[in-house]
Amino acid sequence: MPFTIAIDGPAASGKGTIARALAQGFSFHHLDTGLLYRAVGAKGGDPVRAARELTPADLERPDLRSNETGQAASRVAAIAEVRQALVEFQRSFAMKEPGAVLDGRDIGTVICPGAQLKLYVIASDQVRARRRAAEIDADEAETLAALRERDARDMARATAPLRAADDAVVLDTTYMSISEAVSRAIAEVEARYPAR
């Protein structure tokens, strides 16, 4: 049976960096589920149709990391039909052998509630804004406002709101270096996955 790691949390908390490191370190498959929603938002038009017709090429668009695309992703992610169109793809991915790491906003609560490890990665708003602004070469104050707007929408949506699963390990990366955060996450995996 594959080992599934579900990583949730708000934007720029470090969940993607941790997910990639875990996937590489344990030779697991990795899916940044936010890219699915970013790609749907970036395609424009009818979001339900865009979700149903999503292709791997759509995930390669160079504009998927922009603030604008992030806002579009958050808007389309609130549409129940869009989420449903993407659920089976994500659940199927999670069953890849020997294991899979999925990061997003509803992985531990909706997509993979039976995951062997659930991490909920957080950081302060200011630190997240600084990280994201540096990543996309944007204004930090504008990025902070965009992150807060997106967090509010993601946490308040009726379908699959952003929240920690009851059995998730909360990892606050505010004062951690990347290597410290990754080491903490690796320790959590090793405690549950002795077959490494």
Q: Is 15 annotated as a binding residue?
A: yes
| Residue 45 annotated in ligand binding | no
Host H or E run for residue 88: helix 80-94
SS (H, E, C) 1-20: CCEEEEEECCCCCCHHHHHH
Is 104 known to sit in a ligand binding site? no
- Annotated ligand binding at 55? The verdict is no
Q: Is 16 annotated as a binding residue?
A: yes
At residue 40, φ and ψ (nearest 5 deg) are -65, -45
Q: Is 11 annotated as a binding residue?
A: yes
**In whole angstroms, what is the distance from residue 166 CA to residue 29 CA?**
25
Annotated ligand binding at 66? The verdict is no
Q: Residue with structure tokens 């906003």?
A: 105
Which residues fall in the annotated binding site? 9-17
Which residues fall in the annotated binding site for ATP? 9-17
